[in-house]
Structure 1
Amino acid sequence: MRKWVSSPDYRAAVQVIVSARVEKGLTQREVERRLGKTHHGWLAKIEVGERQMNVLDMIAIARAIGVDERALFDDLVSKLPENLDV
């Protein structure tokens, strides 16, 4: 497994997305549909660490879920350590 996928900091970023999606009662497939993804599994791959999520993906996912991306980033930042391992 690649280092970025298994790092606690990256997993925290994925977890804020998963938590927001679950809190809104949305399936991965519904979020993908809202994003216009025609193939199932795009979000699942992000959530299990098979695909890297970049900042634009995170913003698009937040909007598709129906949460404010700034609040999502604030939530993530509050979970991260002072020094990130990049």
Structure 2
Amino acid sequence: MTKIVIRNTEDAVARIAAMATQVIANGNHEGHDLETVGRIMTSDDVLDAIRDSFTRNLAKDGATVKDAFTATGQAVIGHYCDRAGIPTR
């Protein structure tokens, strides 16, 4: 298991984008290879959405950085898959 160190919001945004990219690309869905997904995940709009989601999740009562990280990552992957027509189950 790899330890993830998050020192600030930008660390979280970068790690969430990278991990979501890897998870989606590992699904081997046509047209969603690592390069293509990475290009989408690193667009300003997507990075802004990840930042907003992480900040919003972190602001919830009792939320930890880990909670916010996990919730945001799940939301990003789910949203990408929904928009791309990739089954999530």
**TM bucket, shorter chain:** 0.3 to 0.5
The structure whose RCO (Cα within 8 Å, separation 6+) is larger is 1
TM-score by length of 1: 0.37
